[in-house]
Amino acid sequence: MKRSKKRNRRKRALTFSVLGVILLLILVGSGFLIDTQGLVVNFDEANSAPSWSHPFGTDWLGRDMFVRTVKGLSLSFWVGLLAAFISGVIALILSLLLLVNKTLDSLVTGLIDLFLGVPHIVALILISFMLGGGLYGVIIAVALTHWPRLARLLRAEIMQIKNSEYISVSRHMGKSWFWIAQHHILPHLMPQLFIGFILMFPHAILHEASITFLGFGLSSEQPAIGIILSEAMGYLSSGMWWLAVFPGLMLLVMVAVFDSLGRNLRKVFDPFKGQKH
């Protein structure tokens, strides 16, 4: 009976994961499929409220807000994807230094504590500002500030299996730590690394939008969600609520889908998480 319940929970989690992936593909794919004609300035339709022809309304330049929002979500997706990937690689490399020697591991532990002790948004702004902002500045800033929690998790996993019997047998057979990491430790870490990468994604997207909103991120020429929300602030008092409401809701939907996807994948891959109600 218990086994049947566990199987049903995993099937349900897998179903939700597939639905989440499909929804994300629709959101991101729309950014490539939608015509950019809606981004052209058209003063005749400026400041139009939501309608059938413009579901999200238009801005002060007559640009279609639905097109701008979808394009902005697509850009945020790719920024978050690249930043989360780089951050995951950093976390994996630094956590594997535990196998080299205790001195390097102590340095990594201190580095993790340092990054976790600094407020996220402050570190993001400082790094992005030093790199001159822009697309690459934002990606590097997000990547350099999102690895510590995943590195701490991977390090704990490595410490747990480092002294296991099959690792000891490999060491007695003369295998190097590099060989052991490649054949024993990395396969064990891949599910945790993948889930950590997915769960890191929504944070990366939100923080990219945050520093862009504050003026330290992407340039105003790019249709980023942070730029759209920042520009909308000057028009909310005029009653143009749709300039901020729809882009903000779409951003929250994307973040919520990623968060749900990560949690459901954890139930699928992690047998201990999958057993919890």
Q: Write the pLDDT tens digit of every residue in 205-254.
A: 888 888 888 877 777 667 788 888 888 887 877 888 888 888 888 888 88
User: What is the residue type of 268?
Assistant: V
86 located within any domain: yes
55 located within any domain: no
Provide the CATH number for the domain around residue 139: 1.10.3720.10
pLDDT for 274: 43
What global pTM score does this model have?
0.79
| pLDDT tens digits along 127-161 | 888 887 788 888 888 888 888 888 888 888 888 88
In terms of residue numbers, what domain contains 68? 2-36+60-274
149 located within any domain: yes
Q: Residue 276's pLDDT band (boundaries 50, 70, 90)?
A: very low
CB 86 within 8 Å of CB 150:
no
170 located within any domain: yes
113 located within any domain: yes
248 located within any domain: yes
- Measured between alpha carbons, how far is 218 from 225 in angstroms, rounded to an integer? 10
| pLDDT tens digits along 23-55 | 777 776 766 667 666 677 777 888 888 888 888
CB 209 within 8 Å of CB 226:
yes
50 located within any domain: no
Q: What is the mean pLDDT of residues 171-191?
A: 77
Our count of domains for the chain comes to: 1
27 located within any domain: yes
CA-based nearest residue to 274, from 191, 218, 197, 210: 191
pLDDT for 275: 45
Q: What is the mean pLDDT of residues 92-111?
A: 83
Q: How many angstroms separate the Cα of 248 from the Cα of each of 56, 111, 227, 232, 243?
A: 12, 34, 11, 11, 9
